[in-house]
Structure 1
Amino acid sequence: MMRSRRAVVLRTLALVSFLLLPPATPAASAPAGLLVALTAGGVDPEVLIQRLVELGREADFVGYEQTTVFRPVRYSSRQKVTQKDGARRILYLYPPGLKGKEIYIEGPLVIFDDQATVAPGIPLGKDLRQLRKQALPNDRVAGRPTYVVEVRPARSGDSRRIWIDAEKWVPLRWEDRNRAGALLSRTTYTSIEFSSDLPPIPPPAPAPKALPQQMSLKEAEKLAGFRASIPTYLPRGYRRQVVTVTTIGKGQRLAHSISMRFSNGLDILTLFQAPARAIEDAPRPGQFRVSSFGQLVWVRGDLHYVLEAPASLSRDELMKIARSVK
């Protein structure tokens, strides 16, 4: 159970650098105000985040990064990251349980093995004005100069520090801390090489046949054929950002799954729900269990639920959310 929980946390953390950014936009020349803000005796954190969001996906590179989770139990992973033309591939090198696994990301589409999902343009890709931002002293990561900025959701004590490449605007390190300032996780590039001569990154084969569709909750319910349940309790600062529908199962088990993604501006909480008849080996109604992917799973009535949460949320918080789903 602990190993599976580690796997889902490490997989989630590996995605954060790309979820920092919305879909790539055409490059724009830096306005004069930007150059003034970056050189005239201080750095405007609003400008740093703006450049990260606008330009961070345009750089082509190959790099190696290491992720360490410090709480509640310390463990780590290593990844090779390749980015080309706005697409990214993350290849796990360590630990053994994840070695060889790949994550493919292009725009909002995220494919992990044969599973696909739609990632919201968050964190830092939406509601930027609601984040409190502070510029910190400049630093160096992987031998490259970086700007450092700290962001906090307006209604949460958690924070994220981001080291942004001063030339390419790619995040080279990021750290998550709780409201007490304790370090929860850190991901940092140990080496990175920028090059425009990289080959294109093909999607994994075979790619999922049924890709998720983003829509409103009413549209999702109409397509899925059932009324979705909604948590009446969410941790402070979390609110719903994205609703998607995915086709699951086959034959008599063919059905649709509705997923809801919630965020506090830094972390993502996901609730999946689908008809229980479409799920093999579903738990008995009323029983909670942890899946092989480290998610909280249960059945209530005719629906099967899966709750996936960041490491910063305790088991008690997960249970409180799950029991509030109605």
Structure 2
Amino acid sequence: MTVTHPHLLTRASRIAFTMLGGLILLAPNLADAQAGRHTPTPRPRRFAHRTPEAAPIAVLQRLLQAETSLVFEGTQITAVSRDGLDISSEQHVLRNGDQAFRIDYTRPERLAGESIVDNGKSYWHYRPKNNILEVGPSRVQRLRKRIHTVIEQAKRGAVTVTIQGQDTIASRPCTIIDVKSANGQPSPWRRLWVDAATGAQLKIEQYDATGQRRSSSFFTTIAISPSISADAFDAPGQNRHPQIKQLSADKPFRTVGEAEMKAGFSAHQPTYLPPGYRFQAASVGNFRGKSMIVLRYNNGISVISLFQVVDDGTIGPKFGGKRIGAITRAQGGRKLVLVGNISPSELSQVISSVQ
């Protein structure tokens, strides 16, 4: 069964833009490889003592480093599977490494014409049906920190990387790798298809701890190093004079206490987390004029997010809405929404433990 859901489709498209959720592309230095072909005396000993684990880690590191420089455009399909439903969308994607990106939705009809643009300074999301332009701080440059974090996790063995075989995506040969937490406990994991020629990630599948596929994003066509027009990363929808809606800066804090001081109320926290998950960061946003605390937990592969506001009787059911794959609950004087790429039973266990 295929359905459309604007919130999840927008959320699913972000799978294409972060390692802990997405598309990671990079042009390698092909000059060195080409030069190696002309070396008079080959030196096979250089690779003689490489351990079996070195090659998969090298594929992951190349893919992560690629995020910072590859320029590309293509057509991408994103699908999120939740509770037996397949929620899909198609986008035209333009990306300039970790400097800028643009997503233009082409289907379903409900989203066709929407555009998301980030030029490294500002983030815009234009919704033509309401003629609204959401404006916020850039998100694309957060990639640098995430790339460094994952590379360090791979080096110290916090994640395991294994090669699963070869495939062809968007007419390009690629290597398939699985990236999983090394804590030995069942936890969400990812399968990545990495372009053999460029290091580009051409496809990603995300699985929960039970091995159930939760989302998939892949290219049907892709062009490397296309020409980019001067206005490609300008704010979309300006010719229609849209209504401007300012988005929260959502500044991350290292401790829950800092977020509580900013929001003006205490945060309720889970006493249970799935194996391997640890507190990552807290932030303070805004929901209909009310402060909202967001707590994020990470296992090195996936993120669980807990949103909460003070339940003063005026919030109503729209906080969280009817999100597929999320749990909304009122308890302990708070309205809570828990979102994560884990099984429904684990989501329920986490939110039930919030105190």
Q: Show structure 2 runs of 5+ residues with no match.
A: 37-45, 127-133, 238-243
Match of 2:246, SS state, is: coil
**Equivalent in the alignment of 1:64:** 75
Q: Does 1:296 align with 2:327?
A: yes
- What is the one-letter code of the residue matched to 1:100? G
- What is the one-letter code of the residue matched to 1:138? Q
Distance of 1:108 and 1:269 partners within structure 2: 27
**Equivalent in the alignment of 2:103:** 90
Match of 1:164, SS state, is: strand
CA shift in 2, pair 1:139/1:110, >3 Å: farther
Q: Does 1:133 align with 2:171?
A: no
Alpha-carbon offset, residue 267 of structure 1: 2.8
Q: Contact between 2:118 and 2:233, CA under 8 Å: does it hold in 1?
A: no
Of the three residues 103, 107, 114, the one matched with 1:101 is 114
Superposed, 1:169-208 pairs within 5 Å as 169-178=199-208, 181-199=211-229, 200-203=232-235, 206=244, 208=246
Q: Does 1:147 align with 2:147?
A: no
Distance of 1:191 and 1:156 partners within structure 2: 34
CA shift in 2, pair 1:104/1:274, >3 Å: farther
Of the three residues 296, 319, 338, the one matched with 1:261 is 296
Match of 1:14, SS state, is: helix
**Equivalent in the alignment of 1:14:** 13
Superposed, 1:221-232 pairs within 5 Å as 221-232=260-271
Alpha-carbon displacement from aligned partner over 1:110-133 (angstroms, at most 9, x marks no partner): 765638696785599533331111
Distance of 1:108 and 1:318 partners within structure 2: 35
Q: Does 1:307 align with 2:341?
A: no
Alpha-carbon offset, residue 169 of structure 1: 2.4
Of the three residues 182, 194, 198, the one matched with 1:164 is 194
CA shift in 2, pair 1:30/1:175, >3 Å: same
- What is the one-letter code of the residue matched to 2:233? I
- What is the one-letter code of the residue matched to 1:213? K
**Equivalent in the alignment of 2:240:** none
Distance of 1:313 and 1:123 partners within structure 2: 26
Alpha-carbon offset, residue 268 of structure 1: 2.4
Q: Contact between 2:27 and 2:70, CA under 8 Å: does it hold in 1?
A: no
Whichever of the two has the greater Rg, that structure is 2
**Equivalent in the alignment of 1:215:** 253
**Equivalent in the alignment of 2:316:** 282
Distance of 2:121 and 2:148 partners within structure 1: 14
- What is the one-letter code of the residue matched to 1:306? V
| TM-score normalised by structure 1 residue count | 0.76
Deviates more, 1:12-21 or 1:53-62: 12-21
Distance of 1:181 and 1:209 partners within structure 2: 35
| TM-score normalised by structure 2 residue count | 0.71
CA shift in 2, pair 1:100/1:309, >3 Å: farther
Distance of 1:104 and 1:221 partners within structure 2: 31
Distance of 1:111 and 1:192 partners within structure 2: 24
Distance of 1:317 and 1:289 partners within structure 2: 21
Match of 1:44, SS state, is: helix
CA shift in 2, pair 1:267/1:115, >3 Å: farther
Alpha-carbon displacement from aligned partner over 1:216-244 (angstroms, at most 9, x marks no partner): 22211111111111111222332222211
CA shift in 2, pair 1:150/1:107, >3 Å: farther
**Equivalent in the alignment of 2:131:** none
Alpha-carbon offset, residue 271 of structure 1: 0.9
Deviates more, 1:105-114 or 1:121-130: 105-114
Distance of 1:88 and 1:215 partners within structure 2: 26
Q: Does 1:233 align with 2:272?
A: yes
- What is the one-letter code of the residue matched to 1:19? T
Q: Percent identity?
A: 25
Of the three residues 35, 39, 46, the one matched with 2:57 is 46
